[in-house]
Amino acid sequence: MVFFRNPLIDKRASEVMNLINYAKEFVNKPITIQDALSIAKVIQQIDLPASKLDIGKLAYECHLNPKGCIDKITFIKKQLLLMEKVLFYMSGMITNTVIHIK
C-alpha cells in the first residue's frame, strides 16, 4: 500500500503521521489517520491479488463522495472496477496506435 505515492512498508507511525499532515497542509487533502486506516482495513478484507493501492487517494475520493462511501467495501470495489476499465481502454488505445518513424 502507498499513501499519495509514498510506500507504507516498514514505516514508523511518526512517518505515516507526517505523510498525513503533509496531505492536510500542503496538498489540501483533508484526510485523517482514521480515514486512511478504515480504507486499509477494507482493502485487507477484499480478496485481491498483490497490488499497489494508494490509500491516500482512495481516502480522498471517499471524502469527496461521502454518500457513495457509506459502504466502504462497495466504494473500494467500484473504484477498482473503474480503474480496471480505464486501464483496459488505455491498453486498447496503445495497441491500436501506429507509430510512423521517418
**pLDDT tens for each residue of 24-60:** 887 788 888 999 999 999 988 887 777 888 999 999 9
| Domain membership of residue 62 as a residue range | 2-95
Which band of pLDDT confidence, cut at 50, 70 and 90, is reported for residue 81?
confident
User: What is the H or E stretch that residue 7 is in?
Assistant: strand 6-7
Domain assignment present for residue 101? The answer is: no
Region 72-94: mean pLDDT is: 79
- Coil, helix or strand at residue 34: helix
Residue 70 falls inside a structural domain: yes
As a whole number, the mean pLDDT across the chain is 83
53-75 burial, b if ≥16 CB within 10 A, otherwise e?
bbbbbbbbbbeeeeeebeebeeb
Q: Specify the number of domains making up the chain.
A: 1
More confident residue, 92 or 79: 79
Task: Say whether 6 sits in a helix, a strand or coil.
Answer: strand
In a domain, 16, yes or no: yes
What value does the mean pLDDT take over residues 79-95? 73
Spatial distance between the Cα atoms of 50 and 63, rounded to a whole number of angstroms: 25
